[in-house]
């Protein structure tokens, strides 16, 4: 029996309860969690923006220690530190054959499996494959990445989603070059990672945008050179900071039609707009045909930072060890499992950066 945060139904209050977690079967690994980040994607599962089978144990950004391995798992052993990978690539679908593992057609198949059971025997699913909002979890070995040397286990949880996504959006999707100007819309965990990534890439100007004036200090500590409080005049304000041209790159980390439109509008002619935020089907963004021609901008979606976790994790670890990437700076609150509902409320209210569940 382990304690976990269970979503009984879409939109229903989370239940912090004990669940029956099985021993690892063939090809599986049991992990004792050290920490798990509270991500906006968890909120999207909670409110139904993203659909997965329920009831489910939420949580997908985590790190911990292997406590047991199933038959056939030879590359991991009890005591190993690991980072959870919620979107493992299958290696055989069309996207994987193209090297675009972040678009793997089978990455979330595990969410339909039975992960554990409640005390009364009800089947539970792993929300995004790894069920990290629990003291321990059992996952396929493909969902586990070795913890890079020199990375604190608790902070490493952030590598599993926020940092891979924010860093990847800047380096893989937008491909920010030294000297370019960047605007990051949304200063949550992913946004803060994107700001740090833009600084690492050598951006000359980094404009952070958020509805909350209180996040300016967080943004500047991460590397933002300027801060704009989001409003109807956001794009105009950003153009005013860039010689009336607009930024070379805008990264949208919110997932709302208004912020996607603002990110597009603040990008220079011929610039790149990358959308990271996950929005609902009701969030319709409109463009007219003339402006698409006239501005010559590129608008692109970005899934999991367009990252290959197995390849990118060592790169991120080197940035951490060298002091270029500060994982702890993303965290504004350390909580217990019982604090997740309040963390969701803060997220909706636009407060803070990343909340980290520490076990």
Q: What is the 3-state secondary structure (H, E, C) of 93-107?
A: CHHHHCCCHHHCCCC
User: What pLDDT sits at residue 92?
Assistant: 96
User: What pLDDT sits at residue 171?
Assistant: 98
Pair of tokens at residue 248: 């070379």
User: What pLDDT sits at residue 118?
Assistant: 95
pLDDT digits over 24-60, tens only?
A: 999 999 999 999 999 988 989 998 888 889 999 999 9
Report if pTM > 0.85: yes
User: What pLDDT sits at residue 350?
Assistant: 87
Pair of tokens at residue 282: 């009701």
Q: What is the DSSP letter of 14?
A: P
Q: Which residue has the tokens 């906006």?
A: 40
Give the whole-angstrom CA distance, residue 234 versus residue 259: 9
User: What pLDDT sits at residue 85?
Assistant: 96
User: What pLDDT sits at residue 48?
Assistant: 87
User: What pLDDT sits at residue 52?
Assistant: 85
Cα first-last separation, the chain: 15
Pair of tokens at residue 152: 């604190």
Give the whole-angstrom CA distance, residue 197 versus residue 177: 11
> pLDDT below 50 — which residues of the chain?
none
């Amino acid at each position: 029996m382990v304690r976990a945060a269970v979503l009984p139904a879409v939109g229903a209050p989370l239940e912090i309860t004990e669940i029956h977690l099985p021993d690892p079967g063939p090809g599986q690994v049991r992990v004792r969690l050290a920490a798990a980040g509270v991500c906006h994607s968890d909120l999207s599962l909670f409110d139904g923006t993203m659909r997965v089978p329920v009831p489910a144990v939420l949580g997908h950004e985590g790190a911990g220690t292997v406590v047991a391995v199933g038959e056939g798992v030879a590359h991991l052993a009890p005591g190993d530190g690991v980072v959870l990978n919620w979107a493992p690539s299958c290696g055989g679908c069309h996207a994987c054959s193209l090297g675009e593992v972040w678009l793997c057609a089978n990455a979330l198949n595990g969410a339909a499996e039975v992960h554990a059971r409640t005390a009364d025997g009800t089947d539970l699913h792993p929300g995004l494959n790894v069920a990290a909002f629990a003291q321990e979890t059992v996952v396929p070995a493909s969902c586990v990445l070795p913890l890079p040397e020199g990375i604190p286990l608790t902070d490493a949880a952030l590598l599993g989603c926020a940092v891979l996504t924010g860093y990847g959006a800047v380096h893989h999707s937008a491909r920010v070059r030294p000297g370019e100007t960047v605007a990051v819309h949304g200063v949550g965990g992913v946004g803060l990672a994107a700001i740090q990534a833009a600084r690492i890439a050598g951006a000359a100007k980094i404009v952070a945008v958020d509805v909350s004036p209180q996040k300016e200090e967080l943004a500047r500590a991460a590397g933002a050179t300027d801060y704009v409080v989001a409003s109807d005049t956001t794009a105009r304000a950003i153009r005013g900071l860039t010689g009336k041209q607009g930024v070379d790159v805008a990264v949208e980390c919110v997932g709302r039609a208004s912020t996607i439109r603002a990110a597009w509008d603040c990008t220079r002619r011929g610039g790149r707009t990358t959308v990271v935020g996950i929005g609902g089907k009701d969030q319709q963004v409109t463009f007219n045909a003339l402006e698409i021609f006239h501005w010559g901008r590129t608008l692109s979606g970005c899934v999991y930072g367009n990252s290959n976790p197995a390849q990118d994790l060592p790169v991120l670890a080197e940035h951490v060890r060298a002091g270029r990437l500060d994982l702890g700076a993303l965290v504004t609150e350390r909580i217990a499992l019982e604090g997740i509902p309040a963390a969701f409320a803060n997220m909706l209210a636009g407060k803070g950066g990343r909340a980290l569940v520490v076990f």
